[in-house]
Amino acid sequence: MIAALLTATLMLSSCERYEPVALSSTEELATEAPSKTEPESTEAPAETEPIETEPPKPVDTRKHVEAKGIYLAYAPVNNESFMDRIIEVMDETELNAVVIDVKDDYGRITYDMEGVPLVDELGASSGAIEDLPGVIAELKAHDIYCIARIVALKDPFIAEAKPEWALYKGDGTIFRDNAGDAWVNPYMTEYWDYLLDVCRAAGDIGFDEIQFDYIRFCTERGVNEVVYDEAYTLGRDKISIITELVNYLSESLKEEGLFVSCDVFGTIIGSSIDANSVGQSYTQMADALDFICPMIYPSHYSTGNFGLEHPDLQPYETILGALSLSERELSRSYIEGIDQAVVRPWLQAFTASYLGSGNYMEYGPDAIRAQIQAVYDAGYNEWILWDAAVGYDFSAFLSEEEAAAERAAIEESRAIQEEQERFEAELEQETFPVELQEALNGDELYESDAAVLSQDGPIVTYEDGDTD
């Protein structure tokens, strides 16, 4: 019985193939060239409209580096012996990237930037780094990946120098945060072009990537008193305007051959309340960027996050929880054909003693390695460490040989896991052959036949009558 049904299945399935339709003899004659004895047409050939084709997509020649880096404040960058030590460590360990301030938290350009008229006009350069182009050239000579940190909308210098770009309260006064610093209004698109000019200049001196920080709305006390002119907002909410700004900067800078990343609050992942408050949509920003860098420092999470009583005391569990949430959110929003940003989290390399006794721990080499391991276990490969004081313990980092061995072990472990997941998925699939079910038109198999199929798989009938 089964053999007969399978033969019917094969016959039915053969009808589903789409073969070219054979031409009849008259159709074949109609497609032949006209006879030479036929008079040629005197009519002019009909004009055909040109076929519009999309221009070829430009080839991306940028070289992606899996960054494992540290933040460097500008004061240490001026210290020649310190920088020599940084380069030595990066030559010998897994570290291969640095993040350096180009536009700092006060809105000042950290070196004597050239080629940006508004920087010269307003005197925006502080010159805090004496020879940043020379520093970058030396870093590049050692194949170190260089990331320019650009603090975006927290810009007290520009907000004071060009008050028309500042945030204003309903009483007509400039809004200031808890530190007394003014912020730029995200809806002022002229400021976007200023940011773009600064970023291009950073690229000109050798930076590989532009990383935007504070590319969000302020959330501090009194910000609810800020008013936004409808002539500028045009009905756009916080997430809409920040996403538009990110897209504008990202598209422009990618054309310049630069990679683009943004720092985002870790708490916006999976939280619409936090996302709407700061204007950062994790998934929408990821669709525009090369890298997205959630700041998931364990000290920034409160009791109860990821089911943990004291997140700062459990660095591995906190990072794994945050990145597992990241993977879930990005996989849910993934659209075929749209590249999502690589996730490169900021990890904690500072001790959060301000949390009080019993709520924090020393973040030495063990805590750093625990966080890095969580990144790998979550399926990601890149990370950057933050310590504003730049007091890194370099013993936390693996040698190049150790890192290569670790990477090989990680790849092997992931391959085994993927194979296991694939095997489990196959077990969950329907074991009954689809073709046989279609041939039965919904009729049920005899119980004995179903038992044979479940044990041995379907019986395949060949033309000579043999079975398998």
423 with 435, same domain: the answer is no
440 with 372, same domain: the answer is no
Strands, E assignment, 4-85: 68-72
Flag whether 47 is in a domain. no
316 with 367, same domain: the answer is yes
Flag whether 355 is in a domain. yes
Tally of CB atoms within 10 A around 287: 20
In this predicted model, what pLDDT tens digit does every residue of 211-240 receive, in sequence order? 999 999 999 999 999 999 999 999 999 999
Give the contacts of 251 (CB within 8 A, at least 6 positions apart). Answer: 288
441 with 412, same domain: the answer is no
The helix or strand, by DSSP H or E, that contains position 85, with its residue range, turns out to be helix 80-92
Give the contacts of 136 (CB within 8 A, at least 6 positions apart). Answer: 146, 205, 206, 207
Extract the tokens encoding 294.
């959630």
Flag whether 279 is in a domain. yes
Instruction: Return the biggest CA–CA distance within the chain.
Output: 104
304 with 190, same domain: the answer is yes
459 with 312, same domain: the answer is no
113 with 185, same domain: the answer is yes
Flag whether 6 is in a domain. no
Q: Which of 352, 378, 397 is where one domain is finished?
A: 397
Flag whether 437 is in a domain. yes
338 with 376, same domain: the answer is yes
Where residue 397 falls (left for φ over 0; alpha for ψ -120 to 50; beta otherwise) is: beta
Return the pLDDT at 34.
41
DSSP lists the bridge partners of residue 342 as 291
**Could you give the dihedral angle defined by the CA atoms of residues 336, 214, 366 and 74, in that order, rounded to the nearest 10 degrees?**
120
Flag whether 48 is in a domain. no
103 with 199, same domain: the answer is yes
Residue stretches of the chain with pLDDT short of 70: 1-55, 57, 430-468
**Which of these, 50, 54, 72, lies nearest to 145 by C-alpha position?**
72
Flag whether 313 is in a domain. yes
Flag whether 261 is in a domain. yes
Task: Report the number of distinct structural domains present in the chain.
Answer: 3
337 with 441, same domain: the answer is no
- The answer, as to whether pTM is greater than 0.85, is no
Residue type, 172: G
237 with 384, same domain: the answer is yes
- The CATH number that applies at residue 112 is 3.20.20.80
Extract the tokens encoding 297.
């420092």
274 with 209, same domain: the answer is yes
Extract the tokens encoding 86.
């940084």
Residue 299 domain boundaries: 68-397
